[in-house]
Amino acid sequence: MDYQDYYAILGVPKTATEKEIRTAYRKLARQYHPDLNKGNKEAEEKFKQINEANEVLSDPEKRRKYDELGSRWNEFESWDQAERATGGASGAPWGQFSTYANNPDNLNDLFGNAYPYSSFFDQFFGYQRGPQRGGDLMQRVTISLDEAYHGTKVKIDVVGPNGRPRPIEVEIPPGVDTGTTIRLAGQGAPGFEGGPPGDRYLEIEVEPNPRLERRGDNLYTDVNVPLHIMLLGGEVKIRTLSGSVVLKIPPETTNGKVFRLRGKGMPRSGQPSHKGDLYVEARVALPRNLTERQRTLIRELVEENTKKAAGETKTMAR
C-alpha cells in the first residue's frame, strides 16, 4: 500500500479547518460519485480515495494521529494487512515500530481504539492468543432537511470479509437531526485471527435549509405578504416540506404577526406520525413603482387616518 496524502487527495492544505475539509469532500464526492460516472474505473477508484481521506481527516483523533505519524500510519497498515493474510508469518519489519514498543502509552497513541494496546501487545508478545474483536468506526453522513423530513437511503463503502471495500445501502429514518447516530452492527474494523468485526456508527449532519429554521421538532419561516392583503385580509401560499398549504391572513394584520400551522413541522424521531409545528412570520411587502393615482389614494388614506386620530384625541380630552 503506497502512502496516501489525504490532504492532497481532497485538495486542501494541512491547516484546513473541519468546514473546509467537509466542503472539499462534498464537492469531490459529487464529482466522482459512481452514479454519475458509470463504468469509469478511474472515477470509482478516486471516489474510494476521497472517502478514505475524509474518514480520517474529518475525525479529529484520527487526523491527529495521521499528522503525527505521517508515513508510519501507512507502514503500519501495510504491515498489519500482511500479518492478517499470513497469520503472523509474513516477517513484516517490526523494527520500524521498536521505539513505540518500549512504551505502552506510545502504543495506545499509535493504534487508538481500533487496536487497543492490551490486545496489540498481547498478540505480538505472546501473552494472549485467539480471536480479537475489531474496533468500532465512526462515519459522518450529510443529508438535507427534506431528506431528514421524509427519511432517505444513503450508500456507503464498508470493508468486506475479504478486506475489499463494498457498497451497502443504509436507511435513514424520518426525524433525524444533527448529532443522531445510527449503529451498523458488524460493519466496523475487521477482527483479528477470526474475531468478529466491530460496529460502525453513522453520525448524521443535517444541512441548513435556506427557507426553514429547525428548532427541535418545530420549524420557523417567514412569508412576504402584499400590503393590501395585510390590510384587507386574504390568502397566501406557504411551502412546507410536505407540500404547499394556504394561510389565511385576517384583515389589519400587523407586520411580524406569527401564525402557527399545527403538524407541519418535523416528524419526531422514532415516532414519525407525531410532527411538530410550523411557525410563519408575516412580513408586509410594500408596493413598488406606484402610479400617480396610487400615490394620491395613499395620501388620502393618510389624511383620513390623521383626522380620525385627531378626533379620537379630542374625545378622550373631554
The residue from 206, 231, 248 where one domain ends is 206
Residues lower than pLDDT 70 in the chain: 1-3, 68-129, 161-163, 312-318
313 lies in the same domain as 259: no
195 lies in the same domain as 252: no
Are the CB atoms for 247 and 235 separated by under 8 Å? yes
Locate cell 374625545: which residue? 315
pLDDT for the residue numbered 314: 63
The predicted model scores a pTM of 0.56
Give the residue numbers spanning the domain of 295.
291-318
Domain for residue 54, yes or no? no
> Cα–Cα distance between 169 and 166 in angstroms, integer?
10
Domain for residue 68, yes or no? no
275 lies in the same domain as 310: no
Domain for residue 314, yes or no? yes
223 lies in the same domain as 277: yes
> What is the biggest distance separating any 2 CA atoms in the chain, rounded to whole angstroms?
107
Domain for residue 181, yes or no? yes
pLDDT for the residue numbered 166: 86
278 lies in the same domain as 220: yes
pLDDT for the residue numbered 129: 56
pLDDT digits (tens, 9 = 90+) for 251-277: 999 999 999 999 999 999 888 889 999
Domain for residue 189, yes or no? yes
pLDDT for the residue numbered 158: 85
- Cβ neighbors of 258 (< 8 A, separation 6 or more) are 279, 280, 281, 282
Domain for residue 273, yes or no? yes
Question: Environment class of residue 222 by beta-carbon count within 10 Å: exposed (0-12), middle (13-18) or buried (19+)?
Answer: middle
149 lies in the same domain as 199: yes
The residue from 171, 206, 241 where one domain ends is 206
Domain for residue 27, yes or no? no
CATH of the domain at 270: 2.60.260.20
pLDDT for the residue numbered 313: 64
237 lies in the same domain as 259: yes
Element (H, E) at 269: none
Per DSSP, 165 falls in state E
Domain for residue 270, yes or no? yes
Secondary structure (3-state) at 312: helix
253 lies in the same domain as 219: yes
pLDDT digits (tens, 9 = 90+) for 218-245: 999 999 999 999 999 999 999 999 999 9
The CA angle 92-95-98, to the nearest 5 degrees, is 130
- Structural domains of the chain, count: 3
142 lies in the same domain as 193: yes
